[in-house]
Amino acid sequence: MPIHIRCRACTREVASAECDRGFRCSVCAARAAASADLAAYQRLWAKRARYGRRQVALEAIDAQLGRLAKRMAARLHERIPDGEAAAELLNGLLAEARQQADSVGGRILVPRHGQELVGGGARA
């Protein structure tokens, strides 16, 4: 009978063989491996929103977003044997990052050049 332990990050009970040396499950290990790229993706997405209608800048940003997503996919697939689950996790993480970047919170963190923080956040 396989030994089960609790993942240190999400507390889910998983087979010990699935865990990495930090006692994290494969999903949490994969998320951690992709977290730096995900943060970069989110910053870039916020930048993309600010560039709005300037087509030339958008093409460069989209190419970079694509490269980041591909690298994250590779990191997730390395650690999550179920390909469909890895793809689903990636899509969820990317959607969440884009949503965060699009939210008011994202805009407060990155005020536009020449823009001042008024009250709770930056004004458009």
The residues binding Zn ion (CB under 5 A) are 7, 9-10, 25, 28
Complex with Zn ion: residue 7 or 89, whichever CB lies closer? 7
Q: How far is the CB of 25 from Zn ion (least distance, A)?
A: 3
Cα dihedral 20, 26, 31, 34 in deg (nearest 10): 70
Q: How far is the CB of 41 from Zn ion (least distance, A)?
A: 21
**Residues contacting residue 99 through CB under 8 Å, at least 6 positions apart:** none
Complex with Zn ion: residue 7 or 65, whichever CB lies closer? 7
Complex with Zn ion: residue 10 or 117, whichever CB lies closer? 10
Separation between Cα atoms, residue 42 and residue 105, nearest integer Å: 12
Nearest C-alpha neighbor of 61 from the set 43, 73, 39, 35 = 43
Complex with Zn ion: residue 89 or 94, whichever CB lies closer? 89
Q: How far is the CB of 11 from Zn ion (least distance, A)?
A: 7
**Helix/strand/coil for 6:** strand
Q: How far is the CB of 79 from Zn ion (least distance, A)?
A: 11
Which residue in this structure is represented by tokens 């001042």?
Answer: 116
